[in-house]
Amino acid sequence: MIKPRERKNPEKHNIPEKLFYKIGEVGRITGIEPYVLRYWESEFPFLRPRKSSSGQRLYIKKDIESILEIKRLLYKERYTIEGVKKRFSEPHLRLVKPEGEDSKVRLEETISRIKARLRNIIKQL
């Protein structure tokens, strides 16, 4: 049996297109147990998912990409937690892309998809 290679680039993971992801979904996508994700939230200040009115964690795609990068740095590159914190805190090494034209286009595409879904729902009613 041939094992699939671990992907280094978080953007190559198959992350389903959704607005929010629950902690169990994030665990399945990233291969990280929920208790580890909760621990990482306490260690990494940039990893703070929103919480629903019932207190359930709601992650966004950017959070998942950060989690995949933390996983790569800790498990593949053998960074310490302090090393990962330093890596994310340095502006020239920051792994999250700044807002720009690309994110504007993605936002407009997302809004268009949502509008189309809403129109579909209205037609069904």
CATH of the domain at 43: 1.10.1660.10
Q: Which domain holds residue 25?
A: 13-94
Task: State which amino acid sits at residue 76.
Answer: K
Residues 39 and 76: beta-carbon distance below 8 Å? no
| pLDDT, tens digit (0-9, with 9 covering 90-100), for 9-66 | 444 578 888 999 999 999 999 999 999 999 999 999 889 999 999 999 999 999 999 9
In a domain, 116, yes or no: yes
**pLDDT score at 117:** 87
**pLDDT score at 98:** 47
Q: Confidence band (pLDDT; 50, 70, 90) for 92?
A: low
Domain count, the chain: 2
| pLDDT, tens digit (0-9, with 9 covering 90-100), for 62-82 | 999 999 999 999 999 999 999
In a domain, 7, yes or no: no
Do both 18 and 70 map to the same domain?
yes
Residues 47 and 69: beta-carbon distance below 8 Å? no
Please tell me the distance from the alpha carbon of residue 105 to that of residue 82, in angstroms, as a whole number.
Answer: 35
Do both 76 and 45 map to the same domain?
yes
| pLDDT, tens digit (0-9, with 9 covering 90-100), for 96-114 | 444 555 566 777 777 888 8
